[in-house]
Structure 1
């Protein structure tokens, strides 16, 4: 008999307006397990380096030591990467627009207006 905990993870895919409920063992990545249980979710790198699979944690706790693509500040705001995230409780998650998360993380560096060939453009 296994002592592994298994958690119920509910994921709202905003892009398709679909809900997925999956059972994820504590030692398995949420994204991979959701795919195995027929959930279609956004992803790109599968290495925790981008923000394509970012979710907002509505409730519950995710352990994500490999999530290089999210700053500690964005994590504290309740965002996680499910490609490298392990459940630590039952969860309710919601997929996010990658641009929203990217802007939260890097907007202060790139939020100086539109750029063309390295030159900021005046607003038209």
Structure 2
């Protein structure tokens, strides 16, 4: 039988705190939905930053979170759609644009964009 952990999710946008009971073998986002809690998400594949949270306390496991760099993971960011609780946990939702900027911002606004060739018209 799998372990179940208490996960507190602080939803910054709504100013609400949700307390969930999450089995260790279930994704946190999926479990939240099953318990009637609506949290931000988009892809459900760990490839975007819509469901990003910052871990306040506890341990989280996210082997499929390809949308987060190792640096952001080390800073305590996680993607709820592909994250498992490994202890009682407290997390806070993040603004998707803030996380996206942390993740990819260094690649943008670094010089002129070169215009492509015009499309051939029939």
State the TM-score, normalized to the length of structure 2.
0.89
1:78 has 2:94 as partner: no
- After TM superposition, the runs of 4+ consecutive aligned structure 1 residues lying more than 6 A away are none
Q: What are the Cα deviations for residues 5-25 of structure 1, in whole angstroms up to 9, with x where unaligned?
A: 000000011111111000000
Any idea what the Cα deviations from partners look like across 1:68-103, whole Å, max 9, x if unmatched?
Answer: 000000000100000000000000000000111111
Structure 1 residue corresponding to 2:86, chosen from 88, 96, 119: 88
1:67 pairs, out of 53, 65, 68, with 65
Q: Which runs of 5+ in 1 are unaligned?
A: 120-124
SS in 2 for 1:55: strand
Between Structure 1 and Structure 2, how many residues are aligned? 114
* Bigger Cα Rg: 2
Q: Quote the RMSD (CA, aligned, Å).
A: 1.4
Shift of 1:40: 1.0
TM-score, length of structure 1 as denominator length: 0.88
Structure 2 unaligned regions, length at least 5: 115-122
Q: Deviations over 1:37-86 (max 9, x none)?
A: 11110000000000000000000111000000000000001000000000
